[in-house]
Structure 1
Amino acid sequence: MKRDMRIWLKDLLEAPVKKAMPILSFPAIQPMGVTVRELISDSGLQAKAMELVAERTDAAASVSLMDLSVEAECFGSAIHVTDGEVPTVVGSIVSTEEEARALEIPAVGSCRTGLYIDAIKNAAEHITDRPVFAGVIGPFSLAARLLDVTEIMIDCYEEPDMVHTVLEKAASFITDYCKAYKEAGANGVMMAEPVTGLLSPALAEEFSAPYVKKIVEAVQDDTFLVIYHNCGGSTISMIDSILDTGSAAYHFGNAIDMAEMLSHVPEDIVVMGNVDPAGELRNGTPKSVREATLKVMESCCGHKNFVISSGCDIPPLSPWENIDAFFKAVREFYAG
């Protein structure tokens, strides 16, 4: 459903009681009785998963699968799929400048992107009480999957032209992918750029921020927002270039001190995070999740631009008792 997303964001910023906005979709496999393998292969199941989460929680928005293998698979990468974990990319497909130049930009809709776009179209038609955000990978994180995460760290120094060639193609594809999501009815995207968190601030400024900014400028408007996500441990040191991307809001992981991060972000920009998704929501207990959630909120909710969330995508097999405890703790905090 089309809506003025600038007003939604302004209302979220100004609300004294803010709804949580975790990255929550994959755990729907449990009440649905399906596997991750089945979920990622069926647009109807993906839409149903988003609807189930929307019905069960009062989250500020519905966020689709954060599956960072989809775009790389379109370029030709092999992926590893299991029944209970988020898919991962195996190996690399580019190792030379010649291969980078020869790399073809795939058509949006190829491989599983068509399924994911259809899922958002279906979900957006049925979830009308809150915005619907699709998930996409960021340009440097996509390039890292095509070149290999370890190798790209070396290539940034030794083969920068090759990295930029791949980045240009990655950014072009992601731009078109975001536009397809917009056309399908999404109100925005959550763009995951976690590999950038492994870079130095200078390298992040050269190899990530300009490409993210280019995508944001091409797709973001009053009806469609980009929320930038980076769960790396170096995000505070590179916050200037991250903010320069012009994204509408920012989402950070539990590797950083969120209260410190908030001191570096203007108070009119929404910042989300950062309860540990693996250590707490997947492997904790309802009691420990409650304590972890309240701890983050107590240290951060003094900033009017803070919205409580998970630090990253909540793992598929996270107990719903823990997820429910997270939302219950949010209500408890605001109830005083």
Structure 2
Amino acid sequence: HPVLHKLDDIPKLPDDFLERGRIPQLIEAIRIMKREVGDEVAIIGGIIGPFTIAGAMLDAVPILKATIKSPDKIHPFLEIGEQAGTLLGKALIDAGADLIAVEDMQASPDLIAPKSYQKLEVEYQRRQVEALDVPVIIHICGNVDKIIPFMEDTCCAAISIEPKSDVRVARKILGPEGILIGGVDTAKTLFMKGPEEVRAGSIEQIEMGLDILAPGCAIAPGTPIENLLEMVKVAREYKYD
């Protein structure tokens, strides 16, 4: 996508936001899933988080530099990012989503300092969680060990992590009440290995403290379906404490 704005701009949310691009198809897909399998499984709608939307409007390098040099200039873009994600989230809920998963890739500690995440992003994620009337899952890529306490401050229903993070660290911070999702490596395990390795990796992650077994990130095209089915089988068979 072309860069839309510069840091000194004042961004605005388009009036026809929900009619743009593939958004109508995304909403319709939720309707179809709700109609076809809504009585059997939970329907999860996905939205992008405020910082990542802000990064799409400004481009990666300018927003990353701004977290250090001029963080106050990012707030108008975070505001729009929160509004856009919340608007889409509400539309997905109306279409039948039982939960909303917020993917905020650029808010990763691999890209911005933990303190920048705390000072810039947490408040907007909290607003989003409060505005959506279903449980909200927050997923941030990379090793999020250092920001787990700040992610908890968003009041989200569950935190999703990938294998770069240590499940045991997250479990210690969240305590027994916090809900932890994720664990299975989507590239090294689900994509490149077989069902036996998927089963072993899934059990290992659960035993380290996961509450809900899931892919650690987006599933790569071409991932063997038998690997995904094996992961589901483990989740159904495992006797959680």
Shared fold by TM > 0.5?
Answer: yes
1:200 maps to which of 94, 113, 123: 113
- Pair 1:158–1:103, CA change in 2 (3 A): farther
- Aligned position for 2:225: 320
Separation in structure 1 between the aligned mates of residue 157 and residue 229 of structure 2, nearest angstrom: 28
Q: Which residue of 1 aligns with 2:40?
A: 129
1:173 paired with 2:81, answer no
Q: Which residue does 1:53 correspond to in 2?
A: none
Aligned to 1:282: 191
**Which residue is 2:6 aligned to?**
95
| 2:131 alignment partner AA | A
Structure 1 residue 269 and structure 2 residue 175: aligned? no
Alignment-mate amino acid for residue 90 of structure 2: K
Alpha-carbon RMSD: 1.9
Q: Once the 2 structures are TM-superposed, how far is the Cα of residue 332 of structure 1 from its aligned partner?
A: 5.4
Runs of 4+ deviating beyond 4 Å:
none
* Aligned with residue 309 of structure 1, among 185, 206, 214: 214
In the TM superposition, residue 120 of structure 1 has moved relative to its aligned partner by 0.7
Q: Secondary structure at the match of 1:264?
A: helix
CA distance 1:219–1:110, change in 2 (3 Å): same
Alpha-carbon distance, 1:264 to partner: 0.5
State yes or no: 1:160 paired with 2:65. Answer: no
Q: Percent identity?
A: 25
Partner residue of 1:111 out of 21, 28, 31: 21
Is contact 1:231-1:254 (8 Å) kept? no
Contact persistence 1:196–1:232 (CA under 8 A): no
How far apart, in 2, do the equivalents of 1:286 and 1:122 lie?
30
Distance, in Å, in 1 between the alignment partners of 2:146 and 2:196 is 33
Q: Tell me the TM-score normalized by structure 1.
A: 0.66
Paired amino acid for 1:230: I
The equivalent position to 1:257 in structure 2, one of 148, 162, 166, is 166
Q: Distance in 1 between matches of 2:86 and 2:234?
A: 37
What is the count of residue pairs matched by the alignment?
A: 236
Residue in 2 that maps onto 1:226: 136
Q: CA deviation at 1:114?
A: 1.0
**Alignment pair present for 1:189 and 2:94:** no
Change over 3 Å in CA distance of 1:102–1:225 after alignment to 2: closer
Q: Any idea what SS the aligned residue of 1:117 has?
A: helix
From 117, 130, 134, the equivalent of 1:217 is: 130
TM-score (structure 2 length as normaliser): 0.90
Runs of 5+ unmatched residues, structure 2: none
- 5+ residue gaps, structure 1, are 1-77, 79-90
Instruction: Tell me, yes or no, if the aligned pair for 2:159 and 2:179 is still in contact at 8 Å.
Output: yes
User: What are the Cα deviations for residues 114-148 of structure 1, in whole angstroms up to 9, with x where unaligned?
Assistant: 11111111211222122211111111111122222
